Structure 1
Amino acid sequence: MQIESIEIENYRVFRRAKLENLPRLVTLVGANGTGKSTLFDVFSFLKESLSQNVGRAVMRRGGLKELISRGSTGPLQISLKFRESGGRLATYEIAVGDRDGRIVVEREVLKFRRGQRGKPWHFVDFSCGKGTAITNESAYGDLGASEERAEYALDEPDILAIKGLGQFKEFRVVSEFRSLIESWQISDFHIAEARPSNEDGYSEHLSTRGDNVAQVAQYLYTYHRKQFDHILEVMASRVPGVEKVEAKPTEDGRLVLRFQDGSFKDPFIARYVSDGTIKIFAYLVLLHDPKPFPLLAVEEPENQLYPELLPELAEEFRAYARRGGQVFISTHSPDFLNALKLEEVYCLKKISGFTTISRAVDSENLRSLYEAGDLPGYLWKQGLFEGLNQ
């Protein structure tokens, strides 16, 4: 799945904002408080609404009054346009409000377009826990077919229909979309928790907080040795001072990582190396996952990292996106931006208390400077992104 556009209304600083023509690698820039973290929270909100329900996801954010944009009465609305695995354009829309003081899903629609001119089929169309769903999914590819629908009722009005119906095999399209959102990875990386240990066992994927990096390294070492060896090669070639990284299995089957610093005779066990070294190792473990997350969101990956590493890290993110995982990144680093294409950069700016979003490549001035050889990071540092939204 690749998200092509996102529309957000009445979600905190986003009274009405839209990201369009999204590439596989999307990078957000803007001053503090312009909503970069809030955009990532939109992804988290949708994921939590599935894993729990919409009411709980809203209450975790302080309630609807705190979540809806200041001065607005709602509803909160999110719309995603995306390409599913077969290449068809689809739209998912959700509107959240309250009825008699209770949080409800006022409208939820999942629709797929049929060709260039065909009328979309509404695979899901619900309001306040009741609605209809397609019952003849197998006929969707036949342009001469008509949709057949049946009525359904959910247990509560704050449950998403894609959650309720997505549990059943007969709703394959709905189930696939639900699984995609459940597989999103919104990183909340904490370096103190990411430091590898000698704990037993393994994990297939890095957690959102990075606290299982040793277990994922063990998994890659055991089942995907080629990827693991490549990670060690990258560490040794790119991290300043690190001449060699080796993985030593212990007698009881656990893995000990040892980092050789050129200034010292003996290597360091992983728990004694710098934060930056551990962080780049954790990112490489994440970005060389054999099964990329369909969506990966990472805030400010430059923190604790040596500036010269950032262009190469940006390329690692781009390679991950090419393998199938759409990537959203926020950054304040000119060094990171310098490794990007102008069409991969989106600028957030507050106007009258609310955020607007623009593509850097849509600015004629920025585009001409970029085509003349200036890099995005230098243009950002010079303040030339200012006024882009006006």
Structure 2
Amino acid sequence: MSESSFSLISLRVQGYKILKDFALEEIGPLNVIVGPNGCGKSALWEVVTLLPDLARGPQPGFDIDFFLHQVFYPHRSTLGFSSVVHAGSGSLKMELTLQANGRAYTYTLRLAPTTMPSPECDTIEERLSTAGKNLLLYNGAREFPVPKRYRVVINDQEAEILWPHYHPLLLLNAPNDQLAQDPLFRKLREYFQSWRGFKPVFTHLLARGYQNIDSRMITPGERFPGERLDTPMGNLPQVLWCLKNQSEAELKDIEEIFLAAMGLDSDSFHLIVDEEGHQIKIWLEGVSWPYGKYWLGDWPDGWKAFLSWLVALRTAPPGGVIFLEEPENNLHPKLLAQMLEQIRIANRRGVQVFISTHSMELVNLIEPKELILMKEGRAYRVDPEKADKIKEAGILLGSAWVEGFLGHFSKPPTSTALSQ
């Protein structure tokens, strides 16, 4: 397997909350999702971020199968796995089509409830295939509760693996792991681990009381709180401190982009990241700054939000997938164009970006092929020919969406039938 990155071509979901029978085809570098409250945008965010949560796995010493319980409880459901499964489905099934080196791969994963208190769910189907050939296959066959019996092709050799866990096999680096011997499986695991999902729920609290370098508002499996930006983006100071120590050139780029977006001259103003007494201290310093040190905790929420999104995009692994939920919150509309420019730069590094939004201004800045309309758990595309007519009439895409015109110009939903 060469170093070429994977890209996500299609995503199909069956049985997750409102996403009873969902299909999204023709996934591109940028995918902007709009729709009314309750249409399934957040459910889609949860599904996309489920893959990296499973792939990163538990911290050392944690039970693998108890961790499977944790990825659903409580941040996807306060009742655990059973309440994320659509009432009419009985199981959660995901099917992803990936492409690398001109070859398509299909990964299928089905999880179903168990009768045990923990874990509440079990892998009952897992398959990786290409060109009609199964490279990894588990179809529910087992002689007793564990182990499960997988058929697998490792370095072109057929083998059988007994897997004594409920957690999916492909998504976890495990002790004495036979899959790790094969470069394709290693590359796939790295790919899913590189996915990210962000909800900026801590933006307004950033750096209130600074940030303790030893605090661990941590995502499972993380060795140091600054190695990557966590889902609520509350560890931004730790990430900036980590960049200062490990990638100062990247931190300098982030500083220059941020200052330019805020209209501050980089010759006169500077973003300072320092550590004192196990506390990370971040402030803006300027030759004519009226505040002296302008501490991060005192910044406008929009400045904090823009810096958070900037760091999320600049630190996204090349070839990864990231999902930004409502990034327009707290941002001045002019900063949306700046953020979109950074998204385009990330796209050029092979990063695929999903955005859920209610922002007409953001939709005005994108192309019709990048827009996805959601309604009642289904995805629709804008018909290109009719989108051209809207453009010829001088109507902006976001304005057409808000006024309800796009409801009359959508292609019917793509087939949502998952392979049986």
Q: TM-score, normalised by structure 1?
A: 0.83
Listed as ranges, the matches of 1:270-285 within 5 Å are 270-285=296-311
Distance 2:317 2:92 in 1: 33
Listed as ranges, the matches of 1:187-226 within 5 Å are 187-189=198-200, 190-195=202-207, 197=210, 199-200=212-213, 203-226=226-249
* RMSD over equivalenced CA pairs, Å: 3.1
Q: CA deviation at 1:160?
A: 0.8
| 1:81 counterpart = 2:97 | yes
Task: Return the match for 1:150 from 152, 159, 174.
Answer: 159
Secondary structure of residue in 1 paired with 2:170:
helix
Distance 2:395 2:296 in 1: 39
- The answer to whether the 8 Å contact 1:203/1:212 transfers is yes
| 1:134 counterpart = 2:153 | yes
Secondary structure of residue in 2 paired with 1:386:
helix
- The answer to whether the 8 Å contact 1:241/1:262 transfers is no
CA shift in 2, pair 1:194/1:151, >3 Å = same
| 1:359 counterpart = 2:381 | yes
State the identity %.
23
Task: Return the match for 1:381 from 399, 402, 405.
Answer: 402
Q: CA deviation at 1:315?
A: 1.7
- The answer to whether the 8 Å contact 2:194/2:316 transfers is no
CA shift in 2, pair 1:124/1:251, >3 Å = closer
Counterpart residue number, 2:220: none
Distance 2:270 2:124 in 1: 55
Distance 1:213 1:187 in 2: 12
- The answer to whether the 8 Å contact 2:206/2:296 transfers is no
Distance 1:90 1:200 in 2: 41
Counterpart residue number, 1:122: 134
5+ residue gaps, structure 1, are: 114-119, 138-147
Distance 1:246 1:14 in 2: 46
Secondary structure of residue in 2 paired with 1:176:
helix
Distance 2:71 2:291 in 1: 52
CA shift in 2, pair 1:367/1:64, >3 Å = farther
CA shift in 2, pair 1:261/1:36, >3 Å = farther
Deviations 1:349-385 (A, max 9, x none): 12xxxx210122x354224323665432122222212
Counterpart residue number, 1:161: 169
Q: Give the residue type in structure 2 aligned to 1:130.
A: R
Counterpart residue number, 1:339: 365
Q: Give the residue type in structure 1 aligned to 2:169.
A: A
Counterpart residue number, 2:11: 6
Q: CA deviation at 1:333?
A: 0.5
Aligned length: 366
Q: TM-score, normalised by structure 2?
A: 0.77
CA shift in 2, pair 1:56/1:271, >3 Å = closer
Task: Return the match for 1:297 from 291, 302, 323.
Answer: 323
CA shift in 2, pair 1:172/1:193, >3 Å = farther
Q: Give the residue type in structure 2 aligned to 1:237.
A: A
Deviations 1:319-342 (A, max 9, x none): 112212211110111111111111
- The answer to whether the 8 Å contact 1:242/1:262 transfers is no
Q: Give the residue type in structure 1 aligned to 2:391.
A: Y
CA shift in 2, pair 1:263/1:333, >3 Å = farther
Task: Return the match for 1:307 from 330, 333, 347.
Answer: 333
| 1:105 counterpart = 2:123 | yes
CA shift in 2, pair 1:297/1:262, >3 Å = farther
| 1:327 counterpart = 2:353 | yes
Q: CA deviation at 1:223?
A: 4.1
Deviations 1:190-236 (A, max 9, x none): 21443383655883432222222223223333443443333223223
- The answer to whether the 8 Å contact 1:221/1:228 transfers is yes
Q: CA deviation at 1:41?
A: 0.5
Counterpart residue number, 1:247: 271
- The answer to whether the 8 Å contact 1:198/1:214 transfers is yes
Q: Give the residue type in structure 2 aligned to 1:89.
A: A
Q: Give the residue type in structure 1 aligned to 2:93.
A: Q
Distance 1:222 1:73 in 2: 49
Distance 1:339 1:45 in 2: 29
Distance 2:197 2:275 in 1: 36
Q: CA deviation at 1:31?
A: 0.6
Q: Give the residue type in structure 1 aligned to 2:159.
A: A
Distance 2:316 2:374 in 1: 33
Distance 2:86 2:283 in 1: 48
Distance 1:211 1:251 in 2: 17
CA shift in 2, pair 1:245/1:255, >3 Å = farther
- The answer to whether the 8 Å contact 2:31/2:370 transfers is yes
Distance 1:261 1:30 in 2: 46
Counterpart residue number, 2:85: 68
Q: CA deviation at 1:278?
A: 1.3
Distance 1:63 1:256 in 2: 38
Secondary structure of residue in 1 paired with 2:181:
coil
Q: RCO (CA 8 Å, sep 6+): is it higher in 1 or 2?
A: 2
Counterpart residue number, 1:117: none
Q: Give the residue type in structure 1 aligned to 2:270.
A: E
